[in-house]
């Protein structure tokens, strides 16, 4: 391989290994010790980790190995599996991120405005229905790839192309997917993130006002930090950071995907994959840091 190819392959390998490690770590640290300790946040993190690991192991890993050996050794039939895995993982990961954003917005409001009162998404049955629905939508858009994807090449490279019966069907499929599985969740994540930021700003303004009042009366006992509230704020800040990364990565991903649907471009495809890999690679560590689980202790 040329130097440029080695650099590209090395970056892919780094993202792949970092993503596998981070998402496996996030999933492991989100496993409850017992059924009584099952919490919504852990379920959502576990679902996100599983969704991302599908891409890491079923898409990124074979693609990375292909780049180093310069041969598509997975066989022609794996093209369908590759596209299926990519679509179902991407869709479930996007919905998981939206649910996490909405959940932590509710928790933050419940902690800072209502004294830590239970929120709607603390209901495990409701969360189970939401996750089941997201996987159903993901399957709806992913299963067709088994029938429209084929390998095009001489076995030396991975060239998995989608062959829709008609161009109109391709446009319809892509349009529905982009609206339901990309644009709508992006709107939800953006809304929840903005609301989290507003709540944090209001809380900070209120704390500052109390601190000034306490200083004037020389009564420091008037302002006592709540450890539980502090943990909620820390987690909420990590959610906002992840949402920012998500919006940047997936908005770019969305634009590039729309561009690719109108014009074939190898560069656009590579950039699309790069944006997706960036998100699945780094967000597990941000979440682990936000919930104070970025350590090797599984106790």
pLDDT digits (tens, 9 = 90+) for 267-282: 666 776 777 777 788 8
Instruction: Give the model's pLDDT for residue 296.
Output: 61
pLDDT in tens, 214-271: 666 655 444 455 555 667 677 778 888 888 887 887 777 777 767 766 666 666 667 7
Answer with the residue of higher pLDDT: 78 or 222. Answer: 78
Instruction: Give the model's pLDDT for residue 43.
Output: 93
Tally the residues of the chain.
299
Nearest one of 37, 41, 8 to 26, comparing CA atoms: 41
Beta bridge partners of 160: 151
Q: Both tokens of residue 229?
A: 């509230």
Confidence band of 67 (pLDDT split at 50, 70, 90)? confident
Summarize the confidence of residues 39-62 as an average pLDDT: 91
H/E element holding 179?
none
Beta bridge partners of 151: 160
- Residues 6 or more apart in contact with residue 142 via CB below 8 angstroms: 83, 84, 87, 88, 91
Query: Rounded distance, CA 105 to CA 239, Å?
Result: 9
Residue 42 has pLDDT above 80, yes or no: yes
User: For 70-73, which contacts have Cβ atoms below 8 Å and span 24 or more sequence positions?
Assistant: 70/1, 70/156, 70/157, 71/155, 71/156, 71/157, 72/151, 72/153, 72/155, 72/156, 72/157, 72/158, 72/159
Residue 84 has pLDDT above 80, yes or no: yes
Query: CB–CB of 261/172 below 8 Å?
Result: no
Query: CB–CB of 99/131 below 8 Å?
Result: yes
Answer with the residue of higher pLDDT: 86 or 167. Answer: 86
Query: CB–CB of 234/293 below 8 Å?
Result: no
Q: Both tokens of residue 266?
A: 């190898």
Q: What is the CATH number of domain 3-209+224-290?
A: 1.20.1070.10
Nearest one of 27, 134, 128, 12 to 64, comparing CA atoms: 12
Answer with the residue of higher pLDDT: 22 or 118. Answer: 22
């Amino acid at each position: 391989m040329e130097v440029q190819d080695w650099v590209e392959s090395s970056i892919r390998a780094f993202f792949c290994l970092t993503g596998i490690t981070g998402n496996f770590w996030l999933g492991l640290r989100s496993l409850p010790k017992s059924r009584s300790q099952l919490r919504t946040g852990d379920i959502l993190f576990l679902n996100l980790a599983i969704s991302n690991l599908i891409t890491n192991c079923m898409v990124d890993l074979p693609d990375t190995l292909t780049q180093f050996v310069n041969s598509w050794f997975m066989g022609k039939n794996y093209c369908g599996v590759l596209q299926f895995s990519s679509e179902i993982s991407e869709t479930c990961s996007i919905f998981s991120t939206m649910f996490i954003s909405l959940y932590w917005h509710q928790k933050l409001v419940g902690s800072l405005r209502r004294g830590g009162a239970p929120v709607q998404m603390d209901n495990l049955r409701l969360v189970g229905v939401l996750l089941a629905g997201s996987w159903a939508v993901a399957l709806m858009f992913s299963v067709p790839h088994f029938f429209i994807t084929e390998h095009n090449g001489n076995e030396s490279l991975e060239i998995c192309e989608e062959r829709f019966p008609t161009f109109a069907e391709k446009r319809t499929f892509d349009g529905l997917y982009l609206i339901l599985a990309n644009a709508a969740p992006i709107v939800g994540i953006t809304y929840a993130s903005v609301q989290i930021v507003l709540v944090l700003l209001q809380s900070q303004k209120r704390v500052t006002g109390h601190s000034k009042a306490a200083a004037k009366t020389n009564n420091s006992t008037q302002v006592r930090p709540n450890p539980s509230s502090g943990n909620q704020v820390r987690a909420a800040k990590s959610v906002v950071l992840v949402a920012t990364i998500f919006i940047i990565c997936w908005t770019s991903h969305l634009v590039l995907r729309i561009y690719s649907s109108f014009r074939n471009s190898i560069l656009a495809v590579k950039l699309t994959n790069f944006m997706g890999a960036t998100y699945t690679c780094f967000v597990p560590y941000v979440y682990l840091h936000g919930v104070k689980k970025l350590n090797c202790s599984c106790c």
